[in-house]
Structure 1
Amino acid sequence: MAPTPSSRVPHLLLATLLACALASGSHRVASAAPSGRASTPQREAHRNPMARLAVESTVVDPIAGLKLEANTSRIASSGQVVEVRFCCLAFPWVDDFVAIYAPADADPGKTAPVKVRFATEAEGYLATGSGTLRFQLFNHRTSVRIALLRGGWEHPRVVAWGPEVAVENVNEPLQGHLHLTGDNTEMLVQWVTKDQGSPVVKWGLSSGDHKFQASAKTTTYTRNDMCGGHAATVGWIDPGLFHTAVMTGLEPGRRYYYTYGDEVYGFSEESSFLAAPTVGPNTSVNFLAIADLGQAEEDGSTEPWQYRASLNTTRWLTQEVAKKEYQLLVHNGDISYAMGFVPQWDHYFEQMKPIITRVPYM
């Protein structure tokens, strides 16, 4: 393993929380917490702020005269920044917030928002009842809708609906990541789209020259597959279809260039990777190791209790894989802390994309 500067070790090997980030959350933990320890719902609320929002208590109670606008009606690709403007709320308060719902026709009393920002983050809001916030919108394979809410997270009321923001390509290849198969002449890649299409991966030894091709197999999961908790209720969103393809005939240790997607729906940006090394006593391997890695929003959404340090981790990992030829990233448990809020897997993989499209993620 390549040595890592000691100053970076705390960031590359996070060990701040011990939470299982399986899609169903922590609802299998015994309901009776020992004396002096937080209950399961309290622990979930600490690990994921969405667990604090009283979704099922949300009501729609419009206030006349409010304005809620966006500077665009569609995003061209996942991660595009959108400005949201809101105006003319009388008696603004510290717990007013702006939320993004997906899909656009989601019932706010049955579906948690995919993003939340407090209105007070907008300059001058408490003095004017107006402001502007910037949201980085991810492609959830569906349109989203903006809402302004009052009553805080315990008694949320939708007081204004804003516009829908559509996705230009719901079949944009998302969540791309590499994976070893156990055969050093192979590399697996997986990605997500809304529809089936004819998913393939293309690769070759030179940038832009993808003369080899392999078809992908497709699967997904449903709400009924969840173990209960938020993932089966307010945290659910259609996760899309998962495509898995294997690049074969690779020469160990060589760099390959690849892209994945569909001839009709479009392909991902080209990325590259080093094939697995040769097997033998004289072979060296450069790899990175992380653990307990959460996620955080570049736009500041879904604060507080978000894991801002994870952004530093992924930035440093991105720098590492860009300057040195790593062949593996080992993630030793506790991933994402989505805690049953399915859209946050889109956010997590977007955060990890610059790394795990270049280095197999195990």
Structure 2
Amino acid sequence: MMMTMATAAAVAVEDSTTDDVQPLSTLKMQAAQVAMDSGAVIHASPDVLGKNGEDSAWVTVNVTAPSPSAGHWVALFSPADFGYGLPSYLLVYMFANVSPSFMSSGSGNLRFLVINQRSDYAFGLFSGGKDNPKLIAISNKVSFANSKAPVFPRLSQGKEWNEMAVTWTSGYNINEAYPFVEWKMKGGESSKRTPAGTLTYTRRHLYSYQIGHELPDGTVVWGKSSTFRASPFPGQDSLQRVVVFGDMGIGQRDGSNELAGFQPGAQVTTDRLIKDLPNYDAVFHIGDLSYSNGFLAQWDQFTAQIEPIASKVPYMVASNVVVLCRCSGNHERTYQDTGGFYNGNDSRGECGVPAETYFYVPAENRGKFWYAADHGMFRFCVGDRCFSSVDRKHQPWLVFAAHRPLGYSSNDYYATEGSFSEPMGRTLQGLWQKHRVDLAIYGHVHNYERTCPVYENTCMDGKSKQDKGSYSGAMGGTIHVVAGTGGAKLRDYSAGPSPQWSVVRDKSFGYVKLTATDHSSLRVEFIHSDDGAAHDAFDITRDYKDVLACTVDSCAPHTMAN
């Protein structure tokens, strides 16, 4: 159990483009003024939330303005005690004309989905639009019955296959309350409590668990209960299904924050993953998680969004893994002059700290996010240091995962850079070939693309583009898949004919699903978020002898001398 308290030469890269701007940053709060208007009224109800332990609740906000305009907007702030000064921290906002009656009558109702973020809240009514905001009315306080309650549990694979880490967010300091997980095998043993540490199980079974804090007087404050199924042991021959994608962000169910232009697919992808939960066993989110870009409260909103998924299956976060770069996705880590391989301002100063705090990874050095994860017949290498230790007879499916495409992408802004998207790709390509890596999956580029089994710009399978739905025998190269399709605004491909190694392109929101039925059969699908259908799929069928087979540069050279 892990408890989270919310709280080399550089390569120049461009910041986000103008249509990829964090919506909260468009509010010019540095120019805001207090101009209280006695004719303006704002009221929120209910004022006490979560009376039955809920970690989110709908709040209705009634507003009245003497001279209604399209420039009136409502914002949620925390904490609530800002008196008649400017509020301290803005969480979400919504324009008042979302209410159909506001422009005609000057009054209307807005609905906000408020989550428990460890403090109380108040709503402010502003005039003047985004560029010249004036605070004209402040609502009553709104708070959760217990603002410190443990919320948003998240599972992660531990350092061993039979360990599960449980992370959550809480307002209790570690010396204020004792954090624990109470868990048991469903239908079996009595419950046990585990302090700070991971849950270690001995059988692949369904387990129930509940997070909690014990106060000094013996009172227990409970969070949500949930279930998880223990991961398969390395080499286990059973049906195993893993979802992989990158670049999701936040989708607001209440329509706040104008996220339609920033992360238009985040909510639909989340909803599809929730609906498809019975059909996969683990998630790898390979960078660019929340896109909070320095607005740290949005990390709570992101963990609240994925909680229905992450509380039931391991939710692994992967990284922008490169030599010399200790970072997650560029929107988690990249910041100028902070020791990373890339320079830029994409994280807006976060420097990887929130990502490393909110999410557990089974890494020796969590700051680098390099780790190996065993899931039955799969070995996932988040980094370049776990290829050689895998036993391919028992774990035939070797997958490399990273945020930035380190192999192949025909994205428009990579077109002038050649077939390798990032400068270190040529170094890693030799490792992929030597260790016969089956798949390399990336985010960062906001579209879907897959290659043939490729090495040094050459398709190694000898097939036409029309005949790439199945592969058998020795692969000869690695299939590269770009899947930065979790929700952030989609991007174009390079103009003109696609490269010969590019087999399928699909500019849609979705995720990659890997399904291993046994040691010889793997199916890879690209699932669209909107309809849940597979719009691209291919199969790999082969035996252990095919993994060992020598192909170009995959075996050490031999001479008469040795």
1:90 to 55, 66, 75: 66
SS of the equivalent of 1:47 reads: coil
Question: What residue number does 1:258 align with?
Answer: 209
Relative distance call for 1:279 and 1:46 in structure 2 (3 A) is: closer
> 1:305-353: CA deviations, max 9, x gaps?
34232111111111111x33x3310111111111111111111111101
Q: Which residue of 1 aligns with 2:152?
A: 175
Match of 1:317 among 273, 280, 304: 273
| Pair 1:312–1:191, CA change in 2 (3 A) | same
Larger strand share, 1 or 2: 2
CA–CA separation in structure 1 for the residues paired with 2:131 and 2:122? 21
Within-5 A mapping of 1:142-153: 142-153=119-130
Structure 2 residue matching 1:347: 3-state secondary structure:
helix
Aligned with residue 333 of structure 1, among 262, 267, 287: 287
2:249 to 276, 291, 294: 294
User: Over alpha carbons, which structure has the higher Rg?
Assistant: 2
* 1:148 shift after superposition: 0.2
Cα displacement (A) at 1:90? 2.3
Task: Give 1:215's aligned residue.
Answer: 195
Does residue 200 (structure 1) correspond to residue 152 (structure 2)? The answer is no
Cα distance, 1:55 vs. partner?
A: 1.6
Deviation at 1:209, TM superposition (A): 6.7
User: 1:270 — aligned with what?
Assistant: 225
- Structure 1-normalised TM-score? 0.76
Are residues 208 and 128 of structure 1, via their aligned partners in 2, closer, same or farther at CA, if it must alter by over 3 Å? farther
Amino acid aligned to 1:342:
L
Q: Deviations over 1:20-63 (max 9, x none)?
A: xxx9xxxx9969x6xxxxxx4x7477331001111221111101
Take 1:142 and 1:110, find their aligned partners in 2: how far apart are those partners? 14
Q: What CA distance in whole angstroms lies between the structure 2 residues aligned with 1:110 and 1:66? A: 17
Q: Is the 8 A contact 2:152 2:311 kept in 1?
A: no
2:76 paired with 1:100: yes
**Structure 2 contact 151–224 (Cα < 8 Å) conserved:** no
Q: What is the alpha-carbon root mean square deviation over aligned residues?
A: 2.4
1:287 to partner: Cα distance: 1.1
Q: In structure 2, what residue type is equivalent to 1:62?
A: M
* Secondary structure of the structure 1 residue equivalent to 2:272: helix
Q: Tell me what 2:43 maps to.
A: 69
User: In structure 2, the residue corresponding to 1:187 is in which secondary structure?
Assistant: strand
Q: 1:212 to 1:44 in 2, by over 3 A?
A: farther
Contact 2:61–2:112 under 8 Å retained in 1: yes
More divergent stretch after superposition (153-162 vs 297-306): 297-306
The CA deviation at 1:105 is 2.2
CA contact (8 A) 2:77 2:87 kept: no
Report the counterpart of residue 352 of structure 1 in structure 2: 306
Secondary structure in structure 2 of the residue aligned to 1:311 = helix
SS in 2 for 1:164: coil
Q: 1:165 & 1:352 partners in 2: Cα distance?
A: 24
* Counterparts of 2:290 and 2:69, CA distance in 1: 31
1:337 maps to a residue whose letter is: Y
CA contact (8 A) 1:169 1:265 kept: no
Aligned to 2:390: none
Q: How far did residue 111 of structure 1 move?
A: 3.5
CA distance in 2, matches of 1:175, 1:208: 26
Give 1:189 shift: 0.3
CA distance in 2: counterparts of 1:266 and 1:43, whole angstroms:
45
What letter corresponds to residue 145 of structure 1 in structure 2?
A
Q: 1:138 to 1:281 in 2, by over 3 A?
A: closer
Q: Give 1:233's aligned residue.
A: none
- Percent of paired sites with the same residue: 27
Conserved 8 A contact 1:184-1:278 = yes
Instruction: In structure 1, give the amino acid aligned to 2:291.
Output: Y
* Structure 1 residues 358 and 307, CA gap change in structure 2 (3 angstroms): same
Residues 40, 66 of structure 2: 8 Å contact kept:
no
Equivalent-residue separation in structure 2 for 1:91 and 1:250 (angstroms): 67
Per-residue deviation, residues 119-171 of structure 1 (Å, max 9, x unmatched)? 00011211111111011111111000111001111111100111110221112
Q: Distance in 1 between matches of 2:106 and 2:213?
A: 46
* 1:35-50 paired onto structure 2 within 5 Å: 40=15, 43=17, 46-50=20-24
8 Å Cα contact 1:178/1:356 also seen in 2: yes
Distance between the aligned counterparts of 2:312 and 2:41, measured in 1?
44
The answer on whether the counterparts of 1:48 and 1:339 sit within 8 Å (CA) in structure 2 is yes
Distance 2:88 2:300 in 1: 16
Q: State the Cα distance separating 1:175 from its structure 2 match.
A: 2.7
Alignment of 1:248 onto 2:200: yes
3-state SS of 1:268 partner:
strand
Change (3 A) 1:207 1:60: farther
Structure 1's unaligned 5+ residue stretches are 1-22, 34-39, 217-244
Describe the SS at the equivalent of 1:315: helix
Counterpart of 2:134 (choices 136, 157, 177) is 157
User: Deviation digits for residues 53-83 of structure 1, max 9, x if unmatched?
Assistant: 1122111110112221122221113220011
Tell me if the contact between 2:59 and 2:114 (Cα under 8 Å) persists in the aligned partners.
Answer: yes
What secondary structure sits across from 1:288 in the alignment? strand
Residue 235 of structure 2 corresponds to residue 280 of structure 1: yes
Quote the offset at 1:355 in angstroms: 0.4
> TM-score scaled to structure 2, two decimals?
0.50
Which has the bigger relative contact order, CA under 8 A and spacing at least 6? 1
Give the paired residue count.
296
CA distance in 1, matches of 2:55, 2:264: 21
Q: Which runs of 5+ in 2 are unaligned?
A: 1-5, 317-562
Indicate if the aligned counterparts of 1:135 and 1:301 stay in contact, CA closer than 8 A.
yes
Is the partner of 1:115 in helix, strand or coil? strand
Match of 2:33 in 1: 59
